[in-house]
Amino acid sequence: MLQMQDFVRAKLYSDEESVIQDALRSLLQARPVLRLEMAIYRYQTGAISLEKAANLAGLSFEQMREILSNRGIELHLGPKTQEEAKAELTTLRSHLDVARR
């Protein structure tokens, strides 16, 4: 069986991480259901936004929102309380300050 190191040694990839990334990309292209499930998982865990989940799944924003809703997954479309909004604003300001430096 082929090993990741074989691809690197054959100078087909620069490192093992590149082999893994290409293999994952090919897997997700070949199996759209996995793309959708991964997008849902990453959205549920807060790793990505609804827009990014839709992009990962290869769907429109509306399609992704409908799928999540049909599965009973709570949509995170913005802050629910004033405290959450203030926390988001503080975080954004912090990121902007870092970017300006």
Contacts of 76 (CB under 8 A, 6+ apart): 43, 46, 49, 50
pTM over 0.75: no
CA 100/CA 68 separation, integer angstroms: 37
For the chain, the domains span 31-100
**Which of 59-65's residues contact partners 24+ apart within 8 Å by CB, and which partners?**
64/39
pLDDT category at 72 given cuts 50, 70, 90 is: very high
Closest CA to 12 of 2, 76, 53, 56: 2
pLDDT value, residue 78: 72
